[in-house]
């Protein structure tokens, strides 16, 4: 089955290569110059006329006059922290200033009015400056206070947490870019189950005897978006952000009940987008394959995922969005290997297969169907209340060992102006009611904000407010009550958070 899916994933790559060869043959010399990259002739040395003692440069040309398309202004992109489902790599592009461009041809300047002084000072810029202009960066620094009350095991816990992220993206041209991202936190996607009360994905706890903060690479990808690929197609390879569109309420702060924003697939993904198809404003389709556990002498564990997404504005103030996602986890205990079920599992049921504490395998398989419905409304006459969104999400594991533990859902609402602007005064309030049964999600990759990964029902309410430009204050309150008793208790647990985040 994995081989068949790989054939499906390789088809768009083969289509890309064949179409590229055809496009290169049809475009002739123009295409050849594009792929080689334009290099203007060097400036000729010119003797300055004695009458001029000072050079006054000409005005900079518009960006459209620059020959290299990779040096065109990239525009503004919505960051991943507030936009669910951006194409992999785009979510980390900065919203800061773009380096100034200038025309690099000295010959043109020397022919306009015979001003030889301008020709002498308009020589080709250094190569390092061109590379610097193609490099884009973004990230944030976050300080958090967290209180866990009414814990199932142990007393109330108070702690301070630290997180920093730095993403770099290099645009080779308008169709190819590569990116990396560093983040604080442990290199493992999750720690041992008894540390579930702490978010182990990307945060560092203060108070570890003044030890240094760990920093690890959590993204490394190449993103291709060739203009000849049909339906605005794209392909991403490496370790990248999950391209699936997630619940917009969860996506901004945490990711999703089914998939956390700090978990990154390792493999390949491809997607397409159609505009105004069959009366629908936008239709998107994507699929991908990720390696989960590679073993030298055993079958590998893997994940196949796909999503179909519809987006339609049926009224100037009403927008309808619907997505259907399938996560198919395969061979999670290959030939009896217990690494994932023993080390990464934080809530799914297991079955012992030996005398040791790590000799356990998953009781269920995991093939999760995940529909998502988003209804947005822009109320008239309320400029401070830009959008009201109602969101319903459902998830069902078709391979659960017990049908009573196989499903879960979330229903919620968020309101406020577009907080993605990151301008002073932007705000958002949100609330969800959630019920997540034990086998409805695959716990190694789900959210880590509730004190339980699965087997709980509870509330989540939050407020986001930008105190200054690019400086956000976030207040959270989360409650979770076990559906089935944990350690003999069904006591409701509470978590309170205050986050201060600076973006760049």
Q: Could you tell me if residue 381 is inside a domain?
A: yes
Smallest Cα–Cα separation from 448: which of 146, 230, 69, 239? 146
Q: Could you tell me if residue 126 is inside a domain?
A: no
User: Coil, strand or helix: which one is 131?
Assistant: helix
End-to-end CA, the chain? 43
- Whole-angstrom Cα distance, residue 325 to residue 53? 68
Q: Could you tell me if residue 52 is inside a domain?
A: no
- Whole-angstrom Cα distance, residue 433 to residue 421? 27
- Whole-angstrom Cα distance, residue 7 to residue 304? 12
Against a cut of 0.95, is the pTM above it?
no
CB atoms within 10 A of CB 441: 28
Task: Give pLDDT, residue 129.
Answer: 86
- Whole-angstrom Cα distance, residue 92 to residue 74? 12
What radius of gyration, in Å, describes the C-alpha atoms of the chain? 26
Smallest Cα–Cα separation from 90: which of 183, 181, 217? 181
User: Coil, strand or helix: which one is 477?
Assistant: strand
- Whole-angstrom Cα distance, residue 419 to residue 293? 38
Domain span holding position 290: 145-159+247-503
User: Coil, strand or helix: which one is 288?
Assistant: strand
Task: Give pLDDT, residue 170.
Answer: 96
Q: Could you tell me if residue 111 is inside a domain?
A: no
Q: Could you tell me if residue 220 is inside a domain?
A: no
> Rounded to 5 degrees, what angle do the CA atoms 429, 434, 437 make?
160
Give how far Cα 333 sits from Cα of 50, 222, 317, 344, 369, Å. Answer: 82, 30, 49, 12, 21
Find the CATH number of the domain harbouring 426. 2.40.160
> Which runs of consecutive H residues, i.e. helices, occur in 146-287?
248-251
Low-confidence stretches of the chain (pLDDT < 70) are 1-123, 187-201, 251-255, 383-384, 418-420
Q: Could you tell me if residue 121 is inside a domain?
A: no
Q: Are 95 and 81 in contact (CB under 8 A)?
A: no
Residues facing 436 on adjacent strands: 408, 456
**Residue 50, Cβ density class (10 Å: 0-12 exposed, 13-18 middle, ≥19 buried):** exposed
Q: Could you tell me if residue 324 is inside a domain?
A: yes
How many domains does one find in the chain? 1
Q: Could you tell me if residue 189 is inside a domain?
A: no
- Whole-angstrom Cα distance, residue 81 to residue 94? 12
């Amino acid at each position: 089955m994995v081989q068949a899916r790989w054939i499906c994933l390789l088809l768009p790559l083969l289509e890309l290569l064949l179409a590229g060869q055809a496009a290169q043959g049809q475009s002739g010399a123009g295409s050849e110059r594009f792929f080689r990259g334009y290099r203007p002739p060097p400036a000729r040395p010119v003797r300055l006329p004695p009458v001029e003692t000072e050079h006054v440069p000409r005005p900079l040309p518009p960006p459209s006059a620059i020959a290299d398309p990779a040096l065109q202004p990239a525009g503004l992109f919505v960051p991943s922290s507030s936009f669910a489902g951006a194409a992999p790599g785009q979510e980390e592009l900065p919203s800061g200033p773009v380096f100034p461009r200038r025309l690099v041809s000295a010959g043109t300047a020397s022919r306009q009015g015979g001003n030889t002084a301008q020709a002498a000072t308009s020589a080709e810029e250094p190569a390092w400056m061109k590379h610097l202009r193609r490099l884009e960066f973004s990230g944030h620094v976050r300080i958090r206070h967290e209180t866990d009350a009414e814990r199932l095991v142990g007393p109330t816990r108070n702690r301070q947490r630290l997180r920093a992220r730095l993403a770099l993206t290099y645009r080779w041209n308008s169709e190819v870019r590569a990116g990396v991202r560093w983040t604080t936190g442990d290199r493992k996607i999750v720690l041992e189950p008894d540390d579930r009360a702490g978010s182990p994905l990307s945060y560092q706890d203060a108070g570890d005897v003044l030890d240094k903060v760990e920093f690890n690479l959590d993204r490394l990808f190449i993103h291709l978006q060739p203009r000849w690929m049909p339906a605005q197609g794209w392909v991403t390879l490496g370790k990248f952000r999950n391209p699936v569109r997630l619940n917009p309420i969860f996506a901004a702060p945490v990711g999703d009940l089914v998939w956390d924003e700090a978990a990154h697939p390792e493999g390949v993904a491809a997607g397409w987008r159609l505009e105004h198809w069959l009366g629908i404003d936008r239709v998107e389709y994507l699929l991908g394959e990720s390696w989960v556990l590679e073993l030298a002498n055993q079958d590998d564990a893997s994940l196949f995922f796909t999503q179909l997404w519809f987006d339609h504005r049926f009224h100037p103030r009403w927008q309808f969005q619907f997505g259907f996602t399938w996560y198919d986890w395969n061979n999670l205990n290959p030939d009896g290997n217990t690494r994932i079920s023993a080390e990464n599992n934080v809530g799914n049921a297991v079955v012992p297969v030996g005398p040791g504490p790590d000799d356990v395998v998953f009781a269920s398989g995991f093939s999760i169907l995940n529909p998502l419905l988003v209804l947005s409304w822009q109320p008239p006459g309320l400029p401070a209340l830009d959008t009201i969104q109602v969101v319903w999400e459902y998830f069902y594991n078709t391979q659960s060992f017990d049908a009573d533990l196989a499903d879960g859902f979330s229903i919620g609402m968020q309101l406020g102006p577009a907080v993605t602007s990151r301008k002073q005064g932007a705000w958002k309030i949100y609330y969800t009611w959630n019920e997540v049964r034990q086998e409805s999600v695959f716990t190694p990759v789900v959210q880590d904000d509730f004190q339980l990964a699965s087997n709980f029902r509870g509330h989540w309410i939050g407020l986001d407010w930008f105190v200054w430009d690019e400086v956000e204050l976030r207040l959270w309150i989360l409650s979770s009550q076990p559906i089935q008793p944990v350690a003999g208790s069904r006591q409701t647990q509470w978590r309170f958070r205050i986050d201060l985040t600076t973006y760049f």
